[in-house]
Amino acid sequence: MAELSTLARPYAKAAFEFAETAGDLQGWSKSLAIAGSVAQQSNVVRLLASPSVTADQQAQALIEICGDALNDQGRNFLTVLSENRRLQLLPDISQQFDVLKANREKAVDVEVTAAHELDAEQQQKLIDALSTKLERKVNMQVRLDKSLLGGAVIRAGDTVIDGSIRGRLAKLAESLHS
Amino acid sequence: MQQLNPSEISEIIKSRIDNLNVSSEAQNEGTIVSVSDGIIRIHGLDDVMYGEMIEFDGGVYGMALNLERDSVGAVVLGDYQSLAEGQKARCTGRVLEVPVGPELEGRVVDALGNPIDGKGPVNAALTDAIEKVAPGVIERQSVDQPVQIGLKAIDAMVPIGRGQRELIIGDRQIGKTAIAVDAIINQKGSGIKCVYVAIGQKAASVAAVVRKLEEHGAMEHTIVVAATASDPAAMQFLAPFAGCSMGEYYRDRGQDALIIYDDLTKQAWAYRQISLLLKRPPGREAYPGDVFYLHSRLLERAARVNPTYVEKFTNGEVKGKTGSLTALPVIETQAGDVSAFVPTNVISITDGQIFLEADMFNAGVRPAMNAGISVSRVGGAAQTKIIKKLSGGIRTALAQYRELAAFSQFASDLDEATKAQLDHGERVTELMKQKQYSPQSIAEMGVMVYAADNGYLQAVEVSKIGDFEAALLSYMKAEHADLMTQINASGDYNDDIAAGFKAALDKFIATQTW
């Protein structure tokens, strides 16, 4: 996983910079997401891993599956990837592309796991507080998890703010243990 | 029935619940990518520091050692069997710390400072980081006070000063640990606190050392840090640093401490294992490139610091006192090969070495120190006056004897002078033998060395030297107790003392009772 993201980085960066100059970040993000999910299908994975299939055939197959989702440059991108036999990196590339895009747009995806249903007002409050703290536009997704007992866990990338009862109990348990 | 341990008192639990800080601060989180032989790779953890503690599920901790672009390599401190791919890992923002202070004296702890002697929790008030930078040039003072080891051969020929690093090197089963244990036993009443760090040893050997120390009443001033052979490599790698922090507690507060690393070869092995698993490139003998730095930064922390440093450290509470941490690292050689990688490194780092030789050990010379290649580069300035004055002849006598002994094997008849030298050398070699766990005081050493230097041993058969020594020492104790106490108190040597020795020895020789 770690190694794959290292390999994917230059491709994601190149695609991002190209899309930015072309002014089509949204379109590229969408095509990469589709290509990425295609490359994750089990029979495609097998195809990409098979040594008996040539790089050209792999690229062709993928381009055909994606169909209209790709423009000309998108097809070229897949061809370049296939030349280096890196098509299986597509999911990582798509993910890194989105991170770069979010960074550029000063936006961040935040996942909030709450113990109880959050009403609109609470959600708005959270979004406001988080966007001041993170200095980013917040795209919030809310999930429900009763096992938290109370409170919420907020996850923005690597940063985690654990305000749940379960988390506090775990901390208490640990402090009593040590 | 499950046993209740002392920390489970309701009051303590109550106060801990009360004092628990449960503020929900933002934390950095990552995902475990792989688990292999105690090495964990983590994806994420963008904010992690080098050497930071990482918390895993189930209260297991690790230490970040490799910071790479997309992953973090960490060693697990403890049991890694419960960890699995996909679990979360969290930053703690803390570097590894161990408890320090006088509460640890008399205890046996593991590399993280947890007690393993079954005597309940260590209620140390302070903790300290295990990785610290050694005192700088300005903060140091040169070595000029002795650490008495209590072994004639060492105190006379390779004296050790407070703040010195003296390597004990030799093959397995040759008495390296014996010297270290004797050194600890001899510190009883001297005010020097001792830390014995056992790395990669059999648990049984550690238990044996602890028992010996207890038997000789030396455990009260000693901390034992044990990372046994069954502990993870990370623990064996960290134990010397943990022990060093415990020793530094005394150094920084104007006291004196002695630390023994037994042995650093095993630590280098543990570090090699960790490094290879972390995929750092192997170098000579497969050790990583920074194995020299591993030992140099550890041994550099053994130092003597000046009163200004101590005053500054204690905020003026301790004035006009120097502090010291003396280190006796132990290195095990393979078949006497001192030119292997780790031995050469540590020889070059330390201020001298005590070299133990298999041939001498087998010939019955114990401690099996080779006087020719054992040196102390700074200890001379710290040697007690009386030993310094009297022991000058010992070294030369032994050096000449060794040369002549090899040569005389082929010669049929020798001139008188050579014979005399051989005779004398033989007796001095015999005199340097000393039983384990029987350290001698300065005065006792002084009188023996005086006897050797002034030809009193010529009247004694070589095989009787040991008996002669025992008889003379008990005679001195019985008849000249005043003289002995005076020497032990001051350590000086003057004409009066010389005259006292002469009179006593003449009288003793006349009795012929040995």
Contact A132, A108 (CB under 8 A): no
How large is the average pLDDT for residues B258-264? 96
Beta strand segments in chain A, E: 107-114, 137-144, 152-156, 159-162
Angle (nearest 5°) at CA B370 between B368 and B372: 165
pLDDT in tens, B350-361: 999 999 999 999
- Picking from B230, B223, B265, the residue whose alpha carbon sits closest to that of residue B244 is B223
| Closest residue on chain B to A153 (Cα) | B24
Q: For position B23, what pLDDT does the model report?
A: 61
Is the pLDDT confidence value at B409 over 80?
A: no
B280, B377, B395, B402: the catalytic one is: B377
| Closest residue on chain B to A174 (Cα) | B59
Is B395 annotated in the active site? Answer: no
Confidence of residue B174 (pLDDT cuts 50, 70, 90): very high
Q: For position A178, what pLDDT does the model report?
A: 63
> Whole-angstrom Cα distance, residue B360 to residue B374?
13
pLDDT in tens, B468-513: 999 999 999 999 999 999 999 988 999 999 999 999 999 999 988 8
Alpha helices in B377-440 (DSSP H): 385-390, 392-408, 416-432
| Closest residue on chain A to B60 (Cα) | A174
> In the numeric block, which tokens belong to residue B330?
């132990």
- Mutating which of B9, B22, B122 best tests the A interface, going by the most A Cβ atoms within 10 A? B22
DSSP B48: P
pLDDT in tens, B89-99: 999 888 999 99
> Whole-angstrom Cα distance, residue B196 to residue B210?
10
Is the pLDDT confidence value at B374 over 90?
A: yes
- Picking from B331, B334, B264, the residue whose alpha carbon sits closest to that of residue B295 is B264
pLDDT in tens, B177-199: 999 999 999 999 999 999 999 99
Nearest to B13 among A5, A174, A176 (CB): A176
* Segments of chain A with pLDDT less than 50: 1
Please count the other Cβ atoms lying within 10 Å of the Cβ belonging to residue B56. Answer: 23
How large is the average pLDDT for residues B58-74? 90
Q: For position A51, what pLDDT does the model report?
A: 87
Q: Classify the complex by whether its ipTM is higher than 0.90, answering yes or no.
A: no
User: Taking CB atoms and an 8 Å limit, are A162 and B30 in contact across chains?
Assistant: no
User: Taking CB atoms and an 8 Å limit, are A159 and B22 in contact across chains?
Assistant: no
- B54: chain A residues, CB-CB within 8 Å: none
Contact B219, B106 (CB under 8 A): yes
Contact A178, A170 (CB under 8 A): no
Please count the other Cβ atoms lying within 10 Å of the Cβ belonging to residue A55. Answer: 15
Q: For position A1, what pLDDT does the model report?
A: 47
How large is the average pLDDT for residues B33-51? 90
> Whole-angstrom Cα distance, residue B222 to residue B187?
10
Among B373-387, B399-413, B417-431, the minimum mean pLDDT is found in: B399-413
Is the pLDDT confidence value at B24 over 70?
A: no
User: Taking CB atoms and an 8 Å limit, are A171 and B22 in contact across chains?
Assistant: yes
Confidence of residue B67 (pLDDT cuts 50, 70, 90): very high
> Whole-angstrom Cα distance, residue B508 to residue B471?
9
- A171: chain B residues, CB-CB within 8 Å: 20, 22
Contacts of B347 (CB under 8 A, 6+ apart): B167, B169, B338, B353
How large is the average pLDDT for residues B74-80? 90
What does pLDDT average to over chain B? 91
